[in-house]
Amino acid sequence: MKGIRDLALAGRRVFLRVDFNVPFEEGKVTDATRIAETLPTVRMAVDARARVICASHLGKPKGKPSARLSLAPVAAEFASLLGRPVRFAGDCVGPEVESLSAALQPGDVLLLENLRFHAGEEANDPEFARRLAALADVYVDDAFGAAHRAHASVVGVPAILRERAAGLLLEKEVAALSRLLNPERPFAAILGGAKISGKIDTLRTLAESADALLIGGGMANHFVRAIGLNVGRSLLEEDKVPLAREILDTCKREGKTIAIPSDFVVAKSPDDGAHARTVGIGSIPPDQMALDVGQKTLEQFERLLEPARTIFWNGPMGVFEKPPFDRGTRALAMLLAESEAFTVVGGGESVAAANLAGVADRFGHVSTGGGASLEYLTNKTLPGIEALEG
């Protein structure tokens, strides 16, 4: 696929798909990582005297306008980080937006309103894609976090605007994650997070491709149940326990190392940190929940990760937003930051944990897309990448 450097941009209107799906609190952006990561692409287009039309989704408005999910506050944050004015359109299609697009001067930047305010975005409706494409001359995708979605702005618009290319962030993401497809070995993968749903295919893939698979977070509860032990009131999708058994069997058959926690930090709820205590894997009380991994597990993980030359991490080890259940995730982030391996962190929560630990800048690569990074590892491509090829 072409990169933005391959396009003639001067004076042309560039439809730039970005991923500004950022967290909010009280109308203000609380983590601007995704905005900051795409600034090099925006600046390159601006410096080339392009007329830049940025488009993104935010949250899940289900095809209807929502004041709570407007990108207007994002436009202000974007302008502040970019260091230049950013115009904001109250919609992403229609006569008003077309006028704003036509009026842009070289070097101007426009941000459209939330794409998902229209049902046609997620449905990849051809007419909605046509209306978006009519705003611009060329297409650039820098939204890796949305590249696994076959939506109108991801696959529909580039099918119409035949001059299309990847932005600098998308190029960087693909280059880093491609190193995991043919990794320097030993290759270790760490999967955590609250649920096993959404990571089934990735679990199967990593059980076969990784030399060591380390399991933490709520996902680990399924493996504990799969070996016949109780998990108390811990988060559990009972119908996914057979999958955990399948993964254990696959690793055994393939001669791969798989590690599940040997001890847990438990309490009656995530708000009961004052009564948190550590118990062994077979001693989770029936009225309590596993909310973090224990010290013995961290020591075990450290031993297994020490020889690794490539490490992929997705998902926290516990309820890291609630001390003291953040200790395991923070300790893992510090451990990986000190590793000499090529380390890749994928996923919003993992990235947030790395930021909280103050070590995000010490990883080989920090991915802006959790679901996208998992799907890329599983399928070795994504709809948004395929849309730019040829």
Catalytic residue IDs: 34, 195, 348, 371
Chain-centroid distance of CA 291 in Å reads 22
- DSSP annotation string for 331-376: HHHHHHHT-SSEEEEESHHHHHHHHHTT-GGGSSEEES-HHHHHHH
The residues, ordered by sequence, that sit 6+ positions from 318 with a Cβ below 8 Å of its Cβ are 192, 216, 217, 265, 291, 292, 293, 325, 326, 327, 328, 329
Q: Specify whether the CB–CB gap between 277 and 252 falls below 8 A.
A: no
Is there a cis peptide before residue 158, judged by omega within 30 degrees of 0? no
CA atoms within 13 A on the CB side of 186: 14
Q: Rounded to an integer, what distance in angstroms lies between the CA atom of residue 339 and that of residue 243?
A: 31
CA angle 287, 288, 294 (to 5 degrees): 155
Distance in angstroms (rounded) separating the CA atoms of residues 13 and 52: 6
* Cis amide prior to 383 (ω within 30 degrees): no
Q: Which helix (H) or strand (E) holds 315?
A: none
Residue 292 DSSP symbol: E
Residues ≥6 apart with Cβ < 8 Å to 29: 22, 23, 35, 73, 74, 77
Between the alpha carbon of residue 253 and those of residues 24, 170, 300, the distances in Å are 45, 36, 22
Buried-exposed string 257-274: b where 16+ CB fall within 10 A, e elsewhere: ebbbbbbbbbbeeeeebe
What distance in Å separates the CA atoms of residue 135 and residue 97, rounded to the nearest whole number? 8
Closest CA to 71 of 13, 21, 138: 21
**107 in Cβ contact with 43 (< 8 Å):** no
